[in-house]
Amino acid sequence: MRPAHEALIVIDVQNDFCPGGALAVAGGDEIISRINGLMGDFVTVVLTQDWHPADHASFAANHPGAAPFSMITMPYGPQVLWPTHCVQGTTGAKFHADLKTDPAQLIVRKGFRPEIDSYSAFFENDHVTPTGLEGYLRSRGVTTLTLVGLATDYCVAYSALDAARLGFTATVLEGACRAINLNGSLAEAQAKMRAAGVALET
Ligand code: VGL
Ligand code: ZN
């Protein structure tokens, strides 16, 4: 068992990010058994859930003429336009059926404001609107995080970068993550995480 100041953060292991889903990440379901095993080692387990309204601004379908995976500029910066995914209440937004959810004490839902995306478990994509996770972890005495889940180069990386910026010790277990890898996004995310002091382990 890890000491009580360590927490496991499981990012977005949802049907739409697994094979057959709307924004499927290759091998997304392969990480689930390892994650389930890790949960038994941590006192504090947090799950995140991408949780968008149907009119969410990150969906290409809400920008007439825009192709999925193209870029736009939002008031808070560049934004990838994604296929419609993880719509609140749909099967695609549910956790993968094989993921254990009972060991988690907290589920953080993010991306629920139509006008702003939220990759990170800590802040929306403006990097200032908080989800509340920082306060939850600090008030429980957590200082050290292990991050796993989907996708390495988007929600896991943004979460790990924010964790480091907030002063948490952060480790990403890359073997318990899978990447989207859009235009070199995985290498870019790995470089940013290393530069920020995030430990990348297998
Ligand atoms: C994610 C793209 C859009 C993720 C969520 O979980 O990494 N990626 N929404
Ligand atoms: Zn999303």
In angstroms, the CA 49 to CA 95 distance is 8
In angstroms, the CA 148 to CA 171 distance is 9
Residue found under tokens 């995310």? 189
Report pLDDT for 86: 99
Report pLDDT for 134: 98
Most ligand 1 atoms within 8 A of CB, residue of 87, 154, 178, 193 to mutate: 154
pTM for the full model? 0.98
153 lines ligand 1 (CB under 6 A): no
DSSP one-letter code for 85: -
Report pLDDT for 149: 99
How many other C-beta atoms lie within 10 A of the C-beta of residue 142?
21
Share of the chain above pLDDT 90, in %: 100
Helix ranges restricted to H, 12-69: 32-39
Atom of ligand 1 nearest to the CA of 52: 9
Strands 44-50 and 6-11: parallel
In angstroms, the CA 12 to CA 98 distance is 13
109-150 per-position pLDDT tens digit: 999 999 999 999 999 999 999 999 999 999 999 999 999 999
Phi/psi of residue 160, each to 5°? -65, -40
Q: Are 140 and 23 in contact (CB under 8 A)?
A: no
151 lines ligand 1 (CB under 6 A): yes
The residue ranges of the chain whose pLDDT is under 70 are none
Contacts of 195 by beta carbon, 8 Å cutoff, 6+ apart:
none
In angstroms, the CA 92 to CA 85 distance is 7
Report pLDDT for 66: 98
Report pLDDT for 153: 98
